[in-house]
Amino acid sequence: MQNYIVYELPLNEKIRTFLRLEFLFQQAYYTLRTYSVWDTRSSIQSLLDIMSILGNNPGLKNEIIKELEKHHQSLAALQQIHSVDQNRLQEILDALTQRIQALTHNPMTYPSKELQNNTLLSTISKRMTIPGGMCDFDLPAYHLWLEAPAEKRIAQLESWFSSFDELRLSIELILNLLRDSAVASEETVKNGIYQHSFDSKNSPNYQLIRVFLPAESNTYAEICGGKFRFTIRFLIPSENEKDSEHQKALTFKLACCAL
């Protein structure tokens, strides 16, 4: 079975924010429950980045609720189509309903007041933009916190991250539905550049472009564009020179995702 590396391009700011938060949550949970102090530092960095994104997007919770409701409404219409797997459809509708109710009836702001008012996190955050600014001699209180038993650090991190659970699970559900909304087609490019335009009148509202490249191709995809057209440049990395375009025939898979 061929292995692929997937490259994605969000086509609007909302999906861009969702992808960044997904990345940060995945990065944080990879290191959150390990005993290394360096992994704890990584989780704290991810936590502060998440808080920064949410602090700059105060209406994000309501946007997520609207997105969930929109998907529930569009998918509920499929219940009248007999060829659709009704059991699977009902599972998705139930998951959407659960996430909508959890966010709607949860009065919590994101990030929570507890996290916003946490003195230690606030002190660390102020040093993050300084190269090397999180050294032990710069942040003695953080140094002391890191010297606590690993179990205590992990418990504190889990408590902090648990406040984002409903938000994280909702974003995860939306992105999974979006990614699964399109079947990837096989495409071939000969000169290293692939361009595509959408029909502005009849095309759905595409939100995400996904490019699947064989892992052994030693080529990466640089995608740029917007909701009407996009361009993919296939480039071969070089250590000492400018990366060059892949000039030979290259087969890849392409998915244009819309919900």
Q: What is the pTM of this model?
A: 0.92
- The predicted-structure confidence for 34-54, as pLDDT tens digits, reads as follows 999 999 999 999 999 999 999
Q: What is the CATH T-level fold of the domain 13-177, as seen in this structure?
A: YacF-like (1.10.3900)
pLDDT score at 1: 60
Q: What is the mean pLDDT of residues 168-184?
A: 95
CATH of 182-258, one of 2.40.30.30, 2.60.440.10, 3.30.70.1290, 3.40.640.10: 2.60.440.10
Q: How far is CA 21 from CA 15, 111, 119, in A?
A: 10, 13, 23
Angle among Cα 220, 223, 226 to the nearest 5 degrees reads 170
The residues pairing with 185 across neighbouring beta strands, listed in sequence order, are: 254
**Which one-letter DSSP state was computed for residue 137?**
T
- The predicted-structure confidence for 144-168, as pLDDT tens digits, reads as follows 999 999 999 999 999 999 999 999 9
Confidence of residue 107 (pLDDT cuts 50, 70, 90): confident
Give the 3-state secondary structure percentages of the chain, helix then strand then coil, rounded to 5.
Answer: 50, 20, 30
Q: What is the mean pLDDT of residues 208-214?
A: 95
Of 145 and 199, the one with more pLDDT:
145
Strands (E), 152-249: 185-189, 193-197, 206-214, 220-225, 229-236, 244-245
Report d(CA 56, CA 47) in Å as an integer. 14
Range(s) of the chain covered by CATH 1.10.3900.10:
13-177
pLDDT score at 44: 96
Taking 80 as the threshold, does the pLDDT of residue 202 lie above it? no
Range(s) of the chain covered by CATH 2.60.440.10:
182-258
pLDDT score at 243: 86
pLDDT score at 125: 94
Of 106 and 140, the one with more pLDDT:
140
pLDDT score at 198: 86
